Amino acid sequence: MSEQNRDEQEPIVIRDNRRVNDESGAPRTPSQQGGGAREGTDAPSADAAADASPEKGRDSGPADVPTEQQLTEIDRLTKELAERTSDLQRVSAEYANYRRRADRERETMVPVAQAALISKLVPVLDDIDRADQHGDLTGGFKTVADALRKVLGEAGLEAFGAEGEPFDPQIHQAVAQHSSAEVDAEQIGAVMRKGYRQGDRVLREAMVAVVVPE
C-alpha cells in the first residue's frame, strides 16, 4: 500500500489535553479538551441527563385499592370496636348507678347509726335528770352533764313530754288516766319519763298520765 493511500485512510488527530486556556487562564471545559466529545458533537447537558433518568416523569400509578380480605378485616374490626364501646358505656352506667345507690345508702345509714348511739345515751340522761331533781348535780359532775346535753342537742336530740301538752298516742305512752272538768281535750297531766326524738325519728316515747274531760 502506498504512502498516499495510508495517509487518506488514517487521518492524523491532534488532541489538546490542556486544562487551562492559554489566553485567559480559565479552566477548559471537557468539550474543549482533547478527551471530550468529537468536534461537532455536543455533550449531553445536565438537564438532558435528568430527563433521561428512569425516575423522571414516572407516573405514580393508581392508588392502592383494598382487597376483599382487607375489607372483611376492616368490617370485623369496626364491629369489634362498636361492641367494646357499648360494653364500656354499659359498665360506666352501672358504676354511676352504683355510686348513686351507695351515696343514698350512706346518707340513710349515718342518721340510723347516729340515732342508735344516742338511744344508748338516753338512760344516762335519765340518771342526770334524777340527780338534778335531788340536788346532786353539782361541781364537776354538773359540768360533764351540761357538756353531754349540749353535744346531744347539737346532734339533733330533743326532749318532749311536758304537763299541759296535748296527748298524742303516737309519741306518748299513757300509764294512768283521770278526768277533769277543767280540760276540753285529752292532755298530759303528769310526766313519769321524758320522751326523746331526733328530727322526725322518735327514739323513745314519753311515759305520761293523761287527763280527759268529764
Cβ 211 vs Cβ 189: under 8 Å: yes
Domain contains 213 = yes
Residue-level pLDDT at 36: 45
- To which residue does cell 360506666 refer? 92
Inform me whether the pLDDT recorded for 37 exceeds 50. no
Task: Supply the CATH number for residue 213's domain.
Answer: 2.30.22.10
Inform me whether the pLDDT recorded for 38 exceeds 50. no
Domain contains 173 = yes
Domain contains 163 = yes
Other C-beta atoms within 10 Å of 206: how many? 24
Cα–Cα distance, 191 to 186 (Å, whole number): 14
Q: How confident is the model at residue 199 (pLDDT cuts 50, 70, 90)?
A: confident
Provide the residue range defining the domain that includes 169: 158-214
Q: Which helix (H) or strand (E) is 160 found in, with range?
A: strand 157-160
pLDDT mean across residues, the chain: 79
Which three three-digit cell numbers place residue 48? Answer: 438532558
Q: How far is CA 185 from CA 9, 53, 157, 160, in A?
A: 158, 119, 28, 19
Helix residue spans in 34-184 (DSSP H)? 46-52, 68-133, 139-154
Inform me whether the pLDDT recorded for 30 exceeds 90. no
Other C-beta atoms within 10 Å of 78: how many? 10
Instruction: Give the lowest-confidence range in 6-20, 67-81, 164-178, 198-212.
Output: 6-20
Domain contains 153 = no
Query: Mean of the pLDDT values across residues 115-129?
Result: 91
- Please count the structural domains in the chain: 1
Inform me whether the pLDDT recorded for 1 exceeds 80. no
Q: What is the DSSP string of 13-44?
A: ------SB-TTT-PBPPTTTSTTSPPTT-PPP
Domain contains 203 = yes
- Strand-pairing partners, residue 177, are 210
Domain contains 167 = yes
Residue that wins the pLDDT comparison between 13 and 197: 197
- 3-state SS, residue 3: helix
Nearest one of 167, 204, 170 to 189, comparing CA atoms: 167
Domain contains 200 = yes
Domain contains 199 = yes
Residue-level pLDDT at 40: 44
Inform me whether the pLDDT recorded for 206 exceeds 50. yes
- To which residue does cell 354499659 refer? 90
Residue-level pLDDT at 136: 87
Which three three-digit cell numbers place residue 168? Answer: 298524742
Nearest one of 196, 193, 207, 199 to 127, comparing CA atoms: 193
- 3-state SS, residue 168: coil
Inform me whether the pLDDT recorded for 186 exceeds 60. yes
